[in-house]
Every structure is written in C-alpha cells, then in structure tokens.
Structure 1
Amino acid sequence: MWWAGRESCIGFLQPLLAVSLCLSCVSVGTQAQLTHPDEVRALRAIKRQLVDPMKNLRNWDHGDPCTSNWTGIVCYNMTADDGYLHIRELELLNMNLSGSLSSELGSLPYLKILDFMWNNITGSIPKEIGNIKRLELLLLNGNQLTGPLPEELGYLPNLDRIQIDQNKISGEIPKSFAYLNKTKHFHMNNNSISGQIPPELSRLPKLVHFLLDNNNLSGYLPPEFSELPSLLILSLRNSGLRGPIPDLTKIPHLGYLDLSSNQLTGPIPATKFSDDITTIILSNNSLTGNVPAAFAGLPHLQILSLADNRFKGSLPSAIWQNRTLNGAEKLILLHGNPLCSSANVVNYCGSNRPENNSQDSKNITGCPSQACPPSFEYVPGHPVPCFCAAPLLVGYRLKSPGFTDFRPYLNGFEEYLSSGLKLSIYQLDIDSFIWQEGPRLRMYLKFFPFYDVVNNSNSHRFNMSEVQRIGRMFTGWGIPDNDTFGPYELLGFTFLEFAVPAKSGLSTGALVGVALGTIAVAVTLSVMASLLIYRRFSRKHHGNRKGRQVSCISFLSPYHYDFVTACAMAVPKIPIRIDGVRGFNFEEMALATNNFSDLLQVGQGGYGKVYKGVLADGTVVAIKRAQEGSLQGEKEFYTEIELLSRLHHRNLVSLVGYCDEEGEQMLVYEFMPNGTLREHISARSKQPLSFAMRLRIALDSAKGILYLHTEAEPPIFHRDIKASNILLDSKLVAKVADFGLSRLAPIPDVEGFVRHHVSTVVKGTPGYLDPEYFLTHKLTDKSDVYSLGVVFLELLTGMHPILHGKNIVREVNAAYQSGIIFSVLDERMGPHPSECALKFMTLALRCCQEEGHGRPSMMEVVRQLENISAMLDPDSGITESSASLPAKQVTPASPSSTMHNPVISFDVSGSDLVSGVVPDITPR
C-alpha cells in the first residue's frame, strides 16, 4: 500500500510508546533479513485473540514485523546465528485492547519484555509464557485477568519483575516461584489471591519488593521471611493475614513495612528494626503488649502507625521526645489503643492522617516576568541566569517508593534520574509531585536541553536525536533500577515546541513521532489549594447608567473551581489594574473604531459586537464591545481578562487590553486578519484550504488546547471550542479564542484528592457539546476533546455541526461504518494522501466517542496529528510561505454573514443553551 516503508506512518492511533519502540527497528529495515517465520506466525495468532477496537494493530496485517515496524514490536538490531531477526520486546500497553492472551506468546523465545499493561484483557495467564527463558519483565497489571498463576512462571530463570497487580487473579501463589532467583519485584496487589504465603519464597536471594496488598490470603506471615537478605519493601495491607508478626527485625535493610488491616495478634518483636526503615504501619490489627522502646532509635523513621490495636502501658519517652527528622516532624499515630489514656501520649491519639506532602511548580525569582517566548520557560538552576529553553514534559509515577515523605529524598532522586538518563542535574526540574492511592508517587518532570558553554549549540531546544534517546530510555526501561525509588510508570511524554533536527539517517518525521505524544489518558497538572488566587475588580452596573457604582471582587471559589463575582456598593469606583494588560479609556476605543462605525464591524453575537480598530500607536486590534445589559457578558468579561492575562502561547489569541468605564466593557485582542476557521471551510469561501493547511490548523488548535490542559496554572477547560472560535492570522496560524465560558480544572483538596471533573451548568454551543457533559453536567478535559473532534470533522467535510436536522458526528460515523468514508470528504481541499485523510478522520471520530474514557487525551491528539503531518512530503504545503493568504477585506457585517449554525433546541433544566440560531461572537 501507499504507506508501506514510511517509518512515520506506523503510529496509527497508538500511544507514544508504540511509535518509539518501532523506531528501534528502523536500522534493520533496509536489510534483507526477515523475522523468524515461527515468530511471525505467533504474532498473528496473538492478534487473532485480541480485540482491537482502535485498530492500533492494523499494520500487523502487512509486511514483516521487524522490517515493517509493526506497532509495539522491538527487534534485535542484528541477525542471530540462524540468519533471522528476532522479537526482543512486545509492548502493547494502554491500547484499549480486550480479548485474551494467546498461548502462542510462548513461541517468542527471544522476548525480554512482555508488556500488556493497562488494557481490558480477560481470561487467564497462559502457562506457555514459562517457555520464554529470556524474559526479564512480565508486565500485565491493570487488566481483567482471572484464574490462577501458572506454576510454569516459576521457571523463568531471567525474570526481574512480575507485575500482575490490579487484576482478578485467584488461587494460591505457586511454590515454584521460589526458583525465581533473579526476580527483584513481586507486584501482585489488588487481586483475589488466596491461601498461605509459601515459606519457600524466603529463599529468593534478590527479592526487593514484595507487594500483596488487598488480597484474600489465609494463614500467617512466614517467619522465614526474616531471612530475606535484600528485602526493602514488604506491603501486605488488607490481605487476610492472621497470627503473630515474625521477627522481621533481622532483615538487614528493610525500609518500608505495611501490615495494616489484617488480623494479626500478639506483641511486636522488641528488637530493633533496620536503621534504613522509614515506614512502619501496623494499624487496624489486634496487636497487644507494649510499644517497643526500640522504635526510638530508628534514625530515618518518618511514620509509625499503631492505631486501632490493643496496646497498653505507656509510650516510651524516647519516642515522643525525639520527633524530628531532617527538620520535619515524625508522624506517630496511636488512636484506638488503651494506652491513649496515658497523659504523655495525648498528642498522638487523634485521628490525624499521614501528611500528603506535595510540591508545586517552582518560581524563578529575579527574572523578568513572562520574558520567555511561548513554549519556552526559564530553566531552574541553569548555569546562565534567566536562561530560556523549550522543555520536554514527562508524567512519571513511582509504583512502590520505599518512604512516606518524599522531601528528604528529593536531591537523591534528582541525582538518580538525571544520571540514569545521562543528563546534567540542572537539566531536570521536578515541576510537582503528589501522593496517590497505593501509595504511589506521581510527578510531573521537565527536562531541559544541555547547555554547551563552548559552542553554545542547540542549547535552547533539544536535538531531535536526544529526544529520541530520552524517550527510548523511558519506554525501554533503560534507566538503571533503584531499590529505594522502585519501578516506575511512564504517564506522559511530550514537548510543545519542535526540536532542532539532528543529523541522522532517520527522517525528522519519524523522530517527531517519538517525542510528541503521550501514553495514557491525558493527564492534568496538579496544583494545590494554596494556589487559590483572587483579583480585585470594580465596575459600574450595566443595568443602571445613572452614576450608581458598585465595587466587585472576582475570586476563585474552592467549591466550584470557577470565578465568582461578589459586589457591594462603593463610591468612588476603583479601576481595574492587571499586570501585563493595558487599560484603555472610552475615548481611545471610540477613536480606534471611528466612533464604532458599522463599516468596521467584523462580527456580532449574544455578547455584543466586534470591531476592527487601530490604536494610536498604529497597532491593529479587534475590539469586542459588550451590549448594554448583557448579564452573561459581565461574567465572561471578568473571566476572560483573568485567564488571558496569564495565558501565553502562540496558538492562543492574545489579550491586548480592556476598557471598563463610561458604563462600557470592552476587550481588546490582537487582530486576526484571516478571520475564523468557520469562514474558510464554508461553502462561500473563495479560497478553499488545502488538506495540508487543514491539517496544520488542526495541529495548531490542538496545541493551544493542550497548553490549557497541561501547562496553564491552574489547568483550564475551554468549554466552547468551535470553528468560529478558532481564528487565523496572516499566515493561517490557528489560534484558539473566546475564554468567556472557560472553567478552571479541579485542584487537589486538603488531602490531595483531585476530582476529574467540574460539576457545572451546561454551557456551550449545540453541535459541539460533549454528550456526557450534557447529560451529567460533569465537565472534563475530554469535553474539550469532543468539541475539537467536531472541528476536525468540519475541516475534513466542510459540513456544519448541525444543519437541517443532520448531526455531523452521526453522518460521518454512518459513512465510516458503511465503508464510504471518502464520499463525505470536502472535494474543495484538493488532492491528498488517502492514508493521511483516513488517519485524520479516524482520530476525529475517536475524539467524538460518546463516553469520555473512549476519547484520546489532548496529548495523544497532538502526537497523532504530528504523526500524520510527518507522512506528508516536505513540499506538501505545510510551510508558512505556502500557507499564507492575503488578509480578508473588512466588510460591513450582515445577519447572513454572522449567523452560521442553525441548531436544534434543548429542553434541559438549568441549561442556558440558546436554541434556534447561534451567532458568532468571536473577534475576527
């Protein structure tokens, strides 16, 4: 087919990981060698037993696995003695796969990594996996697997890690697991594993992490476990254990012990635990006796939780007198014990929970505010003060860290990760971190390019080959293991600015496919409640223009995560003052628009009219003037000023200033000469956009929304994405506009919990509204994904979202299901690669899934569009010069030219949707 042999085509509706994995095979793609026939046959059998609704494995039907870069396949970069290439890694994580695992997995004898994490696979684990003697990582967590663990898994001589957590595995742990002499990590929590823990597991010489939380075990914790020489983390919370606690103090380097919520009895061994221990959680058992005085001599202990047991006596004074560690207070929890009647422990008998320590983004002091260009930011700790660079953004989560408080380990983690990636320590910035249920530690990391002091080369942006290298280190588990920090999960991997192309045999398009994307449902940046901010405003009430004045404050509501306006009578009026945003008076606005001449009107909507204006310094602007008595417009006015004053991105319309006097409210934007996207894809457009231009506009729009979801602080849900709110500058660079309906994304509460949605009255434009949001009133980032998906369908078809009772999503879906998808494409966009158009259409339909969990994250949308763009030839038209069009002429507005979208009416309680005709209200 057309796409065969192009490495940039392999990323069809798949996560970043699959793209980067395939690139490791490119070096063999030009050789004559092929994959071993038995392994090809096995892969085809594996696919037959999987259900792949997103068609991620579509290219498994064509060519050779290694030389044609099948999704998720990594091969050895040289042929074996038999003259064939062999599969080294099978990585199909987070691809929405269901079905079952084939026994043919055992026919991949050279496999080192088997990764099906975070899918919906059912059935049992095939015993044939035990035939893969080279297997090092068995990663099956986050599925719906059932049945017992095969005994054959215990005979994998090179297995380093077994992750089967968060499934429905039942039955007992096979005694054969005692033969896993190289296995360091057992992650088997959150299943239905039953029976006694085999004492034979105490023979495991390299066991570091043993996690069996939330299972249905019976019997006791084997005392033989005290003989494990390398154990650092033992977590058996809520696993059904009975009997006494063995003397685990013999384990030489035990750092984390959680045996809470079991049925353990008897006293705690009185001997001293390892000096390395940070966490002892024994709460919610039936333990008796006294609290051992040996707990007082643990130098790194962060939390001691003995709550809800039967301890008597008193707490040894040495424990409660020595309560600090590295300047932080140790947490001691004793509530629910008889000893709480003692006066000396009253401070520890409350029901306080462990502190959810977290960190938010760092502020760079001493540098000019917002001096870096869009997508660039200051590099903390850089050798050059106030140095700007484009970061690489990584979502990262520690699965089983060996501590409760991360702060004392921050410097050590930075050194570990930066050295593991072969980076200088200043290139890594921990943007934020927060604990999640598990406990797991989620982080958002920023990586910055290396600063070459001598040559000063590529120091502001990453070299593309360096992005590829870093991505491959993460996705291929190339970062050296660390027992304290434990295994990790990669949640996201993207950067918002093109890197400098490297001198490489690979095409730039292929390399971009590695870097620009994400693995999982798009993740939103966390911010703490301490970031709640407010801005003071004052204004005159539009409904009374006789001089009565009111003073208003616009602030962030912690209950609704939205801006709330509270007003009180005040004289005299205090004018708005916002840093970085210019305030204009009424005379300046009247002069700029020739007293608001109809000849300069370029738009009109429910909020008011939009004019083209020229300021005194010659700057051409768009001025949106609120109509008198527009109550909805008042709230939008304050919201839009507040948001746009701190949003800076090349794909977001910039706010120049505002006017708030003489009973007037006006917003002043940068002028966009080529108007709205809706105008350019309408049937009346005299210069239709080519496919390449439409694709670039889609990518520009997605980048703007991605910035709102992941880089704005706090993140923002736009809530009104539509073609008339996407504006085009003189070179057809797309910019998202109109933030009057936007809402702040949820922020963590005092315990660190973050909701995924905002409950709110439904607002937006019919035809673009997320059906899930419309029914539930729960606004999420996936609501913006849906709306942008509708815009993508408009770009591809030229249709309106709703016209003559026909809905664009239903119409295109019907054509797609009938196999006549090309019949609905807009003929005016001219010749285009059919494979690219099909990928673009499929992405658009994925965005328009009725349920939010079926839609891609905005990070994935950007990555997919980058992949499709990379498929086009360099002279395809996606360049600034070819994209430029003459600015459209300003003509008097008329009802027919400003009212585009006939829509159906909605009868929903509490909804303020407008029925009938929805006019454009965006400046052009």
Structure 2
Amino acid sequence: MYLSRVCGYGLFVVAWLCCSSLLIDAQNLLTNPEEVKALQAIKSSLMDPYNNISNWDQGDPCTSNWTGVVCSNKTLGDGYLHVQQLHLLRMNLSGSFSSALGQLSNLTILDFMWNNISGIIPKEIGSISSLELLLLNGNQLTGPLPEELGYLPNLKILQVDENQISGSIPKSFANLNATKHFHMNNNSISGQIPSELSRLPSLLHFLLDNNNLSGNLPPEFSTMPNLRILQLDNNNFNGSTIPSSYSNMSKLLKLSLRNCSLQGPVPNLSQIPNLYYLDLSLNQLNGTLPSDGLSGNMTTILLSNNSLTGTIPTSFSDLPRLQKLSIANNSLSGSIPSSIWQNRTLKAMEKLTVELQNNGLSNISGPINPSPNVTVWLQGNPLCSNSSLLQFCRFESDENNSQSSTNTTSVCPTQECPPPFEYLSSPASPVACFCAAPLFVGYRLKSPEFSDFRPYINAFEEFLSSGLDLFLYQLYIDSFFWEVGPRLGMNLKIFPVYANSSTTKFNMSEVDRIFGLFTLWNMDISDIFGPYELISFPLQGFYRDENTNSPSFGLSKGALVGIVLGTIAGAVALSTVVTLLILRAHIRKYHAISGKHRFSKASIKIDGVKDFTFEEMVVATNNFDNSTQVGGGGYGKVYKGILADGTVVAIKRAQQGSLQGETEFLTEIELLSRLHHRNLVSLTGYCDEEGEQLSLKNH
C-alpha cells in the first residue's frame, strides 16, 4: 500500500513537472513567422498618432496580446498560432494599407472601421480565402474595388461605405455566393450595375446609394431569391425606367430609388407581401398611381417631386401601419379621400404625416377633422381657396423628419451617484437608484424600414437586448437622431446586472462578449430595423484601465493551456517509465520513513513555504472570481492571486471530489517543496483548512 502511495506521489510530481514545463513552453509558442512579418509591415504602413497599436513591437502577437489581434486557440497542425481576426475599430489610424494583409491567410475578420486610412484596397486581400467579414467603412480609401475580392468564397459582409472609392463594380462580385450584405454607399462608384450580380443566391441587402452609377436598372434583379433591401438613392440612371419585373421581388422589404433620374410609370408593387418602405421621390416619374393596394406593412410611401397625374387611390386608406405619405409637388387632381387618416386609430406614440402640397387637388371627400396625431399639408392646391380648409393650408413649419430625442426619463432625476465618477444611475434597474458603471455604445441603423422611430422604441429595446443576451432593463437608449440617408443613430448605455450592491461593473470577459456580439455580426437582422453598424465602443474609466492591464484581444492563458493539453498526456505517459525507475531506488528509504514519521499540520515547518489561511486566499483571488481563473482540469481550478505583500501567485484549488487526506496533502506539499528544476515553478505556500486544499506557486 505504501509503495502504491509513493508511486502515486512520484507520478504526480513528474506530471506536475511536465505540465509546468509545457505551460512555460506554451508562453513561448510563436505566431506563424510570416504572419508576424505581415503584422509588422501593416503597422509600418500605418500612422498611429495616439500609440493605440504601440504594443505591436512587443513580444509575440498571439501570446503577448497585441491590440486588436485575435488568434486561433490551436496550432492547426503546423506548430504555430495563427491570426484569425483584426479588430481596429476607431483607433485614429491613418496612412495606407500594406499588401502584406494578404499574408494573413487564416483571417476571418478584417475590421478597420472608422479610421482615416487612405490609398487603395490591396488586391492581395482577395487571396484570404477564409475571410468572412471585410469591414473598411468610414475611411478615406480611393481607387477601384479590386476584382480579386470577387473570389472570396466565404465572404459574408462587404462594408466599404463612406470612403472615396471610384471605378465600376467588378463583375467578379457575381461569384460571392456566400455574401449577404453589400454596403458600398457614399462613395464615387460609377458605371452600370452588372446584371451578373442577379445570380447571387444569398444577397439580402444591396446598398449603393450616393454614388455615380448610371445606365439602366438591371431587370434581372427581380430573380434574386432573398433580396430584402434595394437602396440606390442619389445615382443617375439617365432616364431609365423601373423594371416592371421588380413587382416579382417577393422578399423585398424596402425599395429606395430617390433622386435617380428615373422616368416612366410607378410599377404595380401590390404583389410584394411584406414591403415596408417605398421611396421613389425626386425623379421624373409620370402616369397615374396604381390603384391596387400595397402591403399592409407599409410605413412609408414617398412619391413627391415627380410628374404624376390622376387621382389619389383609395387603397392608401387601408394601410394600418402608415407613418408618412408624401405625394407633394406632382400634378394630381380630384378629391382627397379623408379615409387615409380617418380610418386610423393612432396610439399615443404613433404619428401620421400626409404631404399633398402643390398639386391640383380640389376638395376633400368625407369627414375633414383629423386626430391630433395626424398632420396634413395641403398648401398650393386649389382647395385652399376654401376658407374652411385654411388650417390645412398653412405653410409647413420646421416640423420635419429630423426628429431626435434625448432620454430624460429616470426614476432618480436628482440622484447623484457617489465616486468613482464612472458610476451612473441605472434608470430601469429593478432596484431604484442602482449606481453602476455602464458601457457606452454608438450604434446606427443603416436602412430602417420606418420614418418615425418612436412607436418602435420598445420593440427595438426587446430586439437588441435579446440579441445581446441581456435583461431588458440593462439596455438604455440615451438618445437617438436621424442622419442623412435616412439612417438612425443612437447612443446606448448598457448596465451590469443587479445582483447585490457590490455588483457595480462588468468583468472584462462580459465586456468582450458584448463587444464580440456587435462586431461578429452574429445577431439576427430584423425586418423592420434592417442592417446595423457599430459606430463606437469606447472603454472608459476602469474599463479602460483593466483593458490596458489585461488586453481584451489575443490568446488567453486558458487558451494556452488548451493548446498544450494534448501534449501533456503524452509527456506524462512517457515520463511514467522514468518515474518508476527512479522510485524503485528510493522505495527502501521511504519504507524506513513510513514507520517513524507522521505529519501533522502543526508540525510542518518548511523553509520558504508559508501556511496561509483560507481567508487570505479569498482576498487574494477576489473570492475566486471567474476573471482571476487562468486554468483548470480534473483536479480543480488555477487562479491568479495577489497576496497582501503584492506577490503574484498561481493558486491551485482542489475541487471537492479530488480532495486528499490531510496527511497525503501535506506529504505532497513537502515533496514539492524539495523539487527544484529550471522549468518547474517553485512552491511558495499552501492552505489546508475549512475543507479546502490549495497550493501556491510563483506566477
């Protein structure tokens, strides 16, 4: 029995030695050398005035947690770690992109949004076959879109909007079978839209507004099986007509072709079952309005500033969600059906605006008195000669679509949270006046399917909090505002969960989780809210300090442990034979000791090894908080701890099922205290009280 126990201790010691050695080696695991050179080349081509990526010169990219660099948690069979994601959102970077980006051959996300980078998009990016998200919007990029980007088989999102990109759309983009989002608006892209793009099976959103496109609208787009949004405002299609085939776009939610120099009739779109938003304003469309009814989901119909004739269809009266109907500045005549607004029962937050100015309308049929939530504009029509209608014939005031709001509702309007200043009162917390440190998020809906956000605020809060896996009360819309597009910007605050008065901030793992959900674009896209974009995610106060001390990106110690777990088993097995040979030479010595020597906690006095109390361990690990855990296994978990004198240690805490007897545990401690090896971290202390067994080693 004693032989078995000694063998067990010996095997444990060797296993610990192997694990320690391998974990130390794991700290020295290297990123693929070609990728390291690529990152260095990328950095050298950029200007970093605020030193946001200054640590790209320190250590190894993956094991030293370079800012914005996310690595694989396995070596992919070649013995190297690999860069998988670059997240450099709003880092104030300028300069240009290096062609070395193409050497990051395992990259899935390339995110340089909202910087000031100029120059061209390197064609070498087209060789990164693993790339899924290409996010370059909000820079100053010029030149054409490289044709090589059309050969990225896994690309899901292409965001290059808000740059100065010119040239035509490459026909090779018709090969992007996995792409769901083309966001290329607000550039200087010219030429005709390639009809070949109609072959794209996965495309949901096609946003190319505010460019220099010309030619004809491709009628083949009607064959796209999943197209939800077609937004081409402010281009010049030189008198092209809207293809009648567009009425066959069965999945379409939004058709926006404002100010595109279009002619011909308004197509009959009554067969599109879920259309929310139609904007054909500022064109030269003519003929009469189709009399067939539109989708009951319609929120917005914008047909102003055309050359439309005939009467207003009564079918506009059967749109229960309608927020805005604008047919101003046309040549319409006849009567206005008052049922457009009389048939509506509006809730408190719902508004309806009807703009019919500057037509040839002669009277209103039916009751005239609209509810307070309805605004009707009629000036510039013959009916305004009727004095009884003067209330509708006033000139339009500044009440327009630039609606914005700052949320001032709070259960604690006069509450001031105590220092630190990062603390704010959580307005919707289940505990009144709960002070906590929120995360601040800049967020924008790029193409919402409504013209008034207010009735949809509650639905949006439920949608986003669900997508982020948060409680509804954690999300707070601080303000919202309409921007040119129209796009809807928001300033959000996200508060920690209330558990007790001491849970006043997020741990960094939760911050990383929330940031990842925003930047990985894994949240569902809502029909009514459309595509979104992250504008900013600033880490302030102690979030910034903790992020500096423990960078959010890169390879965690837990991941490093995972990388070497497979090799540990092999190393331990190999060392078992050596261990048994060594133990055989010492069995007699241990037999002699066994009859004479018994340990007790009080009798152990080991030089350099301290007996700690469990209370000291609780303080050192912040009550064994998950954020301090750096490893684990079948024996239990390993935590990073800071002792009262400032010493940083690794604390191994045995789990309940693996506890040894007190004698065995203290024998193990004494044996470990005598072991010295260049790759073995030295033992500094232990704790054996309150049913706990913990050992401490230098970290």
TM-score by length of 1: 0.48
Partners of 1:314 and 1:342 within 8 A in 2: no
Whether 1:357 and 2:388 are equivalent positions in the alignment is no
1:227 and 1:213 mapped to 2: Cα distance?
21
Q: Which residue of 1 aligns with 2:259?
A: 261
Give 3-state SS (helix, strand or coil) of 1:148's partner.
Answer: coil
Go from structure 1 to structure 2 and tell me whether the alpha carbon gap of 1:402 and 1:179 turns closer, same or farther (over 3 Å shift).
farther
* Structure 1 residue 236, shift from structure 2 partner: 0.7
Go from structure 1 to structure 2 and tell me whether the alpha carbon gap of 1:440 and 1:130 turns closer, same or farther (over 3 Å shift).
same
Go from structure 1 to structure 2 and tell me whether the alpha carbon gap of 1:155 and 1:341 turns closer, same or farther (over 3 Å shift).
farther
* Structure 1 residue 478, shift from structure 2 partner: 5.3
1:148 and 1:29 mapped to 2: Cα distance?
46
Q: Which residue of 2 aligns with 1:212?
A: 208
Give 3-state SS (helix, strand or coil) of 1:40's partner.
Answer: helix
Whether 1:166 and 2:191 are equivalent positions in the alignment is no
> Which residue type is aligned with residue 473 of structure 2?
Y
1:393 and 1:436 mapped to 2: Cα distance?
20
What's the CA shift string for 1:544-598, capped at 9, x where partnerless? xxxxxxxxxxxxxxxxxxxxxxxxxxxxxxxxxxxxxxxxxxxxxxxxxxxxxxx
Whether 1:243 and 2:240 are equivalent positions in the alignment is yes
* Structure 1 residue 230, shift from structure 2 partner: 2.0
Give 3-state SS (helix, strand or coil) of 1:311's partner.
Answer: strand
Aligned match for 2:531, one of 465, 468, 486 = 486
1:508 and 1:97 mapped to 2: Cα distance?
23
Give 3-state SS (helix, strand or coil) of 2:27's partner.
Answer: coil
Whether 1:132 and 2:128 are equivalent positions in the alignment is yes
Go from structure 1 to structure 2 and tell me whether the alpha carbon gap of 1:510 and 1:480 turns closer, same or farther (over 3 Å shift).
farther
1:512 and 1:31 mapped to 2: Cα distance?
16
Q: Which residue of 2 aligns with 1:117?
A: 113
* Structure 1 residue 363, shift from structure 2 partner: 1.9
What is the correspondence of 1:90-239 to structure 2 with a 5 Å cutoff? 90-239=86-235
1:497 and 1:490 mapped to 2: Cα distance?
21
Partners of 1:187 and 1:212 within 8 A in 2: yes
Q: Which residue of 1 aligns with 2:467?
A: 420
* Structure 1 residue 308, shift from structure 2 partner: 1.0
* Structure 1 residue 266, shift from structure 2 partner: 0.7
Q: Which residue of 2 aligns with 1:329?
A: 351
Partners of 2:147 and 2:170 within 8 A in 1: yes
Go from structure 1 to structure 2 and tell me whether the alpha carbon gap of 1:57 and 1:28 turns closer, same or farther (over 3 Å shift).
farther
Give 3-state SS (helix, strand or coil) of 1:434's partner.
Answer: strand
Whether 1:306 and 2:282 are equivalent positions in the alignment is no
> Which residue type is aligned with residue 211 of structure 1?
L
Aligned match for 1:449, one of 450, 472, 496 = 496
What's the CA shift string for 1:745-788, capped at 9, x where partnerless? xxxxxxxxxxxxxxxxxxxxxxxxxxxxxxxxxxxxxxxxxxxx
Q: Mark the runs of 5 or more structure 2 residues left unpaired by the alignment.
A: 1-22, 317-336, 366-375, 381-394, 554-641, 647-699
* Structure 1 residue 372, shift from structure 2 partner: 4.5
Partners of 2:191 and 2:215 within 8 A in 1: yes
What is the correspondence of 1:70-89 to structure 2 with a 5 Å cutoff? 70-89=66-85
Partners of 2:124 and 2:148 within 8 A in 1: yes
What is the correspondence of 1:40-79 to structure 2 with a 5 Å cutoff? 40-79=36-75
Aligned-residue sequence identity (percent) comes to: 52
Go from structure 1 to structure 2 and tell me whether the alpha carbon gap of 1:81 and 1:326 turns closer, same or farther (over 3 Å shift).
farther
* Structure 1 residue 182, shift from structure 2 partner: 1.3
Partners of 2:288 and 2:311 within 8 A in 1: yes
What is the correspondence of 1:785-796 to structure 2 with a 5 Å cutoff? none
Give 3-state SS (helix, strand or coil) of 2:404's partner.
Answer: coil
Give 3-state SS (helix, strand or coil) of 1:80's partner.
Answer: coil
Partners of 2:145 and 2:165 within 8 A in 1: yes
Give 3-state SS (helix, strand or coil) of 1:450's partner.
Answer: coil
> Which residue type is aligned with residue 197 of structure 1?
I
What is the correspondence of 1:694-733 to structure 2 with a 5 Å cutoff? none
Go from structure 1 to structure 2 and tell me whether the alpha carbon gap of 1:203 and 1:387 turns closer, same or farther (over 3 Å shift).
same
> Which residue type is aligned with residue 395 of structure 1?
G
1:496 and 1:158 mapped to 2: Cα distance?
38
Q: Which residue of 2 aligns with 1:810?
A: none
* Structure 1 residue 444, shift from structure 2 partner: 1.7
Go from structure 1 to structure 2 and tell me whether the alpha carbon gap of 1:368 and 1:102 turns closer, same or farther (over 3 Å shift).
closer
1:285 and 1:477 mapped to 2: Cα distance?
35
* Structure 1 residue 293, shift from structure 2 partner: 2.6
Partners of 1:303 and 1:330 within 8 A in 2: no
**RMSD of the alignment, in Å?**
3.3
Give 3-state SS (helix, strand or coil) of 1:322's partner.
Answer: helix
2:456 and 2:525 mapped to 1: Cα distance?
16
1:331 and 1:512 mapped to 2: Cα distance?
52
2:166 and 2:514 mapped to 1: Cα distance?
38
Partners of 2:102 and 2:124 within 8 A in 1: yes
Partners of 1:361 and 1:431 within 8 A in 2: yes
Whether 1:439 and 2:436 are equivalent positions in the alignment is no
> Which residue type is aligned with residue 322 of structure 1?
I
Partners of 1:232 and 1:402 within 8 A in 2: no
What's the CA shift string for 1:607-645, capped at 9, x where partnerless? xxxxxxxxxxxxxxxxxxxxxxxxxxxxxxxxxxxxxxx
Partners of 1:265 and 1:285 within 8 A in 2: yes
Give 3-state SS (helix, strand or coil) of 1:171's partner.
Answer: coil
2:377 and 2:430 mapped to 1: Cα distance?
50
> Which residue type is aligned with residue 536 of structure 2?
L
Give 3-state SS (helix, strand or coil) of 2:119's partner.
Answer: coil
2:379 and 2:177 mapped to 1: Cα distance?
43
> Which residue type is aligned with residue 363 of structure 1?
T
* Structure 1 residue 84, shift from structure 2 partner: 0.8
Partners of 1:335 and 1:348 within 8 A in 2: yes
Go from structure 1 to structure 2 and tell me whether the alpha carbon gap of 1:358 and 1:293 turns closer, same or farther (over 3 Å shift).
farther
Q: Which residue of 1 aligns with 2:633?
A: none
Partners of 1:265 and 1:286 within 8 A in 2: yes
* Structure 1 residue 48, shift from structure 2 partner: 3.1
1:213 and 1:444 mapped to 2: Cα distance?
25
> Which residue type is aligned with residue 253 of structure 2?
G
1:141 and 1:418 mapped to 2: Cα distance?
25
> Which residue type is aligned with residue 370 of structure 1?
Q
Go from structure 1 to structure 2 and tell me whether the alpha carbon gap of 1:224 and 1:67 turns closer, same or farther (over 3 Å shift).
same
Go from structure 1 to structure 2 and tell me whether the alpha carbon gap of 1:263 and 1:372 turns closer, same or farther (over 3 Å shift).
same
Partners of 1:221 and 1:246 within 8 A in 2: yes
1:147 and 1:509 mapped to 2: Cα distance?
36
2:345 and 2:131 mapped to 1: Cα distance?
42
Partners of 1:187 and 1:209 within 8 A in 2: yes
What's the CA shift string for 1:102-149, capped at 9, x where partnerless? 222111111111122223323222221111111111112222222221
Partners of 1:302 and 1:330 within 8 A in 2: no
What's the CA shift string for 1:436-489, capped at 9, x where partnerless? 12322111212222234xxx4744443444334323433454545545431312
Partners of 1:306 and 1:334 within 8 A in 2: no
2:524 and 2:353 mapped to 1: Cα distance?
32
Give 3-state SS (helix, strand or coil) of 1:289's partner.
Answer: strand
2:45 and 2:295 mapped to 1: Cα distance?
53
Partners of 2:415 and 2:425 within 8 A in 1: no
* Structure 1 residue 245, shift from structure 2 partner: 0.9
Go from structure 1 to structure 2 and tell me whether the alpha carbon gap of 1:340 and 1:66 turns closer, same or farther (over 3 Å shift).
farther
* Structure 1 residue 272, shift from structure 2 partner: 0.6
What is the correspondence of 1:654-733 to structure 2 with a 5 Å cutoff? none
2:483 and 2:308 mapped to 1: Cα distance?
30
1:460 and 1:63 mapped to 2: Cα distance?
34
Go from structure 1 to structure 2 and tell me whether the alpha carbon gap of 1:430 and 1:35 turns closer, same or farther (over 3 Å shift).
same
Partners of 1:287 and 1:310 within 8 A in 2: yes
2:41 and 2:97 mapped to 1: Cα distance?
10
Larger radius of gyration: 2
Partners of 1:51 and 1:99 within 8 A in 2: yes
2:75 and 2:174 mapped to 1: Cα distance?
35
Segment drifting more, 440-449 vs 307-316: 440-449
Partners of 1:332 and 1:348 within 8 A in 2: no
Go from structure 1 to structure 2 and tell me whether the alpha carbon gap of 1:511 and 1:401 turns closer, same or farther (over 3 Å shift).
farther
Partners of 2:251 and 2:272 within 8 A in 1: yes
